[in-house]
Structure 1
């Protein structure tokens, strides 16, 4: 109930007015049944914008810090995240991350949509970073299809370090479902998990037009924080996930407005 109240009454209308989201591929989201919505991650608002354009409820994983804040603002943030069904995850890994994945599996077994950011954290510079294999484990253990989602322009509306986003138009491109049933029962094979993850990331690269960097986003952030110069800089030989050929794609543009109709 709180999810739909936030989407349709309290927050949704304001976000639609601010961002005027355009979308392609909405027909690729199934009308029912479980599916994993695997998205690139450019800004905090990604988790708020994607649900706007969907008729079904989607639940995301969120960093545990959102649930542990103090003071009025911290309690309000925690209450909002719980209200919209966000699942806390400790990004340090270990048992906490395992518990979050198990919760995601429960969501999928109940026939719901589960949202995940395979990069594990926001991109520090708008590029696409190496995916973590948790998304592959979810796919193989649940048997649910993976639907790649490319957020476009959310990093321009809300650059890292910006709390209040700017009113800019943003987009969502939704790809065709990816079926990994051929790997059923192989979720303990780390090579299979890496192959599945790279296939998902390649699809995200193809949809978003982002440059790919074959390191984890968290590693890049740590290097930048340590003052490492030219860390993860553009390579003269661009790469793609899993050593695949680099797709010849560009960042998607919003649809063109139709020309005015002549009355003559």
Structure 2
């Protein structure tokens, strides 16, 4: 049966088109030339005529040829299986997985749990992708290469990182049908707030090096998203988010610089 996802057609009054999404984005405040970090939950937009292609066409039309779109392109399965929990794997499987897991490849490694639009965007003509095996970003537009140029293996959300470049470029954050719990941009505020936090978590991934495929162990700053929703409530209350809709999805548009500067003082003090 034709369709672009499992959402029942009868749930909506009419289909969502490129023209409608582009108009919704403009009314919300997305402007030509903008640099926008986009989070999407496709199923909440409605029945999209054209599916992921239409959604990306609308986003590209909203920012125009001089604008740049950025999306999280995380691949959290390219990590040490010793730390997997959704689902965990047997201990005796772990060395087998480490030895057999294909090396991270920005062009071929798929995203995981990022949604259909982010995965389609990763494969979109002209899209670039950063080189972090677990928490990469993809970008399409004139500023893509500059945004993705530096993402340290052991500090992918700090300074420098794609998020810090987006902060410097005064990028916007667009959350289409998603909540603050998935707002990747808040990780920059977290890193600024907890810059000296000693707690780190071990990880590893297969990477291509001059010696071929190698398993690389590394550590990451411990991240804690449990405060993101409460911080988002403050951001909404203080008027730092512009709330509207894209299709049928509740949507927020924010300034990454403004929410970082505000959120960094809202994280609780940690050792």
User: With structure 1 as the length reference, what TM-score do the two structures score?
Assistant: 0.33
Where is the helix percentage greater, Structure 1 or Structure 2?
1
Where is the strand percentage greater, Structure 1 or Structure 2?
2
User: With structure 2 as the length reference, what TM-score do the two structures score?
Assistant: 0.33
